[in-house]
Amino acid sequence: MFNAPESLNTVTTESVQVSETAIHGQGKADSPVSLLCNLSGATAFCEDYRTPHVPVLAAFGGDRLHVCRLNGSWDLDRMVSENPDALFRSIRKLPSKDAKDTSMEWDDLTFQFGPRAFLYADKDRIVGFASTPTEAERLVTRFSRVYLKPPAPAGGTFHLIQQDRCDITCHAVSLSSDTVLSPEALNLHYGRGSGEWHRDFIGKLHEKDRGLSIFEGTPGTGKTCYLRHLTGALKESHRFYFIPTSTMGILSKPEFIGFWADQRHRFSDRKLVVILEDSDAALMTRGADNREQVSAILNLSDGLLGDFLHLQIICTINCTAADIDPALLRPGRLLCHRVFRRLDYVQAARLAESLGRKLPVASDYSLAEVFIGQDKHETNRPHIGFEA
């Protein structure tokens, strides 16, 4: 229960040390010195990858400072309850009056275990600060043994990107284990040969660190169902982000570049995948209403910005590829174009039989019609997607 996880082998230790000459001039290294520390560039609560936050910066100033980081999933509630005297700074998030989820959350915790021994924690990482690399790693190791959460559920996870005024944040959403399909289930859902196509697509996502994939199909043909499966199939190697249709304009905002740069630093061991669902308007031939969004997708997938950020982008569309801006379909930029089709009656009946259902004879069915069990001509169906 308290054994150190194998991921400790990937702990990174950084040394941040101000030049002795810069502080002391040409005098002796151990001569007394007074140092004016400017805290204006540091944040009050949140540790930044490049700049320690105020408590750490104030304690160490220009003296020896070593940092040890470890990504993971951490039990912040237990950290607070079991180390109340060491808790130096924290943020407590309370639910709004109308919120369905009434749980309260901790965030941006800073613990102080000595004059120069700090540990920062949020849900995704812990960071130790100390005067020696050994002490910084000891802080992180001790916490990782005790407060590492159990492994994530068998299903995948995607991160919902949200913008609150000038801040861009992401909220993790875990999917259930039944969203991961077996090879047999893939063929039942999408027709013969789908399992082979899936393995080929997975290989491309492992091989390439950027590129654009387009999933085309009418509503209900299983594009989102496959994306849920994909997040589970690649949960160990890829990190998925979802941008809702209503906030697609965030793609062209300058602060979005800083957000991706920070994510790239924090999750350098993962490939980053951006999902744009129902992105017809953003991908259609450029006009006055979508010019910035198309340009942003082009630049993120295969432009100079893509050379820096290394993002894989997956877009789903309900229109046809003929309506898409031709520049998006250029060879070398397009990693995959997959058309999700309606199932003929034989395929649909086979899938329904595996679900214990029987379908009336019809020319074809969408995947949603098979699962929901409604008449194929019924149009008043709930939305099926990441936002459902």
Q: Put residue 368 in one of left, alpha, beta given phi > 0 → left and psi -120 to 50 → alpha.
A: alpha
CA–CA distance from 370 to each of 44, 179, 316, 367 (Å)?
A: 53, 16, 21, 5
Cα of first residue to Cα of last residue in the chain, in angstroms, is 37
Residue with tokens 């950290």: 79
Residue with tokens 């400072």: 65
CB distance 110 to 54 below 8 Å = no
CA–CA distance from 300 to each of 179, 240, 310 (Å)?
A: 29, 15, 8
Query: Strand order in 311-317's β-sheet?
Result: 167-174, 157-164, 238-243, 271-276, 311-317, 211-216, 334-339
**Token digits for 342?**
């309606």
pLDDT in 10s for each residue of the chain, 388 residues = 333 333 333 444 454 443 333 333 344 445 454 555 565 667 888 887 778 889 998 999 889 999 999 999 899 999 999 999 999 999 999 988 777 767 889 999 999 999 999 999 998 999 999 999 999 999 999 999 999 988 655 789 999 998 777 778 889 999 998 899 999 999 999 988 999 999 999 999 999 988 889 999 999 999 999 999 999 999 999 999 998 877 777 776 777 888 888 898 899 999 999 999 988 877 776 555 556 667 777 777 777 776 777 889 899 999 888 888 787 787 777 889 999 999 999 999 999 999 898 999 999 999 999 988 654 444 344 343 454 4
Name all domains of the chain by residue range, CATH numbers in brackets: 6-147 (no CATH), 157-343 (3.40.50.300)
The DSSP code for 317 is E
For 269-298, how does the pLDDT look when each residue is reduced to its tens digit (9 = 90+)? 999 999 999 888 777 765 555 566 677 777
The DSSP code for 252 is G
